[in-house]
Chain A
Amino acid sequence: MSLRTPLGQVLGRGSAKEGTGHFFAQRVSGVGLLLLGLWFACSLATLPGFAHADALTFIGAPLNGVLLVLLVVALAYHSYLGIQVVIEDYVHGHGLKLLSLIISRFAHSFLTVAAIYAIIRIGLGA
């Protein structure tokens, strides 16, 4: 007995081979954020203050800069995957759904690049 749909059997294209891709990416980025997020929370809790000089000292330290870039990338990826599921669940209509997904991807890309640009700029003291 085959679990394939009749249409699937006729078309004979087989599986797209990416059934668990989204699930797995969400978990792996989640584990990364577990570590990076805890580091960031501890850093924010113990930062001397939030004046401009305090921010520059924190962001400009080499290890902090590297970890911040990792945090931003993992956060953006995890956030995009999560928002994608929310859009797929709640936005009906093919066109509007596709448009929402594209806007979400562009917005996440823009925020990621802007944040990395800022971190590098501060790190280089430019």
Chain B
Amino acid sequence: MSNNGRPLSPHLSIYRWPITMTTSILHRATGVAMSVGFVVLAGWLLDAALGAETYASMMPYLDTIVGKALFVAWSFAFFFHLSNGVRHLIWDSGRGFEKAQANASAWFVLILAFVLTALFWWVRS
């Protein structure tokens, strides 16, 4: 088949995963993760309102390794979704759509999210 050097449609064995795809998928995944986190936020507020006993009965679950890992994941989800959300707002103004710009901003928000997550837990510790 002659195709004069024109690009073929994505083919799994030779497909190079673009970083912008990672950020796009992560934006949705972190959004859904924080919707689940909303349940925990509401639960925390409600347990605090219902009294010391109810509150104390919830805390042992949050103080496990799984619980702590979830909070680290939620903090990353928050900082990534926030950074990438600003990236989307800049796109909405019509700027930053060039491939090189989109790739650079994808790496920027990813690294920024990790830095902000680390900063959050450093202040917290």
Complex A-B: 19 CB contacts under 8 Å: A31-B89, A34-B85, A38-B82, A41-B75, A41-B78, A45-B120, A52-B56, A75-B41, A79-B31, A79-B38, A82-B35, A86-B31, A111-B38, A111-B39, A114-B42, A117-B46, A119-B45, A121-B49, A122-B45
Write the nearest CB–CB distance from A54 to chain B, whole angstroms: 10
- A75 engages B32 (CB within 8 Å): no
| B-contact 0/1 string along A81-123, CB 8 Å cutoff | 0110010000000000000000000001001101101110110
- A27 engages B92 (CB within 8 Å): yes
CB-CB < 8 A to B78: which residues of A?
37, 41
A25 interface residue, CB < 8 Å from B?
no
Of the four ranges (under 10, 10 to 19, 20 to 34, 35 or more), the interface on chain A belongs to 20 to 34
B114 interface residue, CB < 8 Å from A?
no
Known: A45-B124, A59-B49. 19 other contacts (CB 8 A): A38-B82, A41-B78, A52-B48, A52-B52, A52-B56, A55-B44, A68-B45, A72-B41, A75-B38, A75-B41, A82-B31, A83-B32, A111-B42, A114-B45, A117-B46, A118-B42, A118-B48, A118-B50, A122-B45
CB-CB < 8 A to A75: which residues of B?
38, 41
Please measure, in the bound complex, the distance between the C-alpha atom of A106 and the C-alpha atom of B30, giving whole angstroms: 22
| A-contact 0/1 string along B20-41, CB 8 Å cutoff | 0000000010011011001101
CB-CB < 8 A to B35: which residues of A?
79, 82-83
Quick one: closest A residue to B62, CB to CB? A50
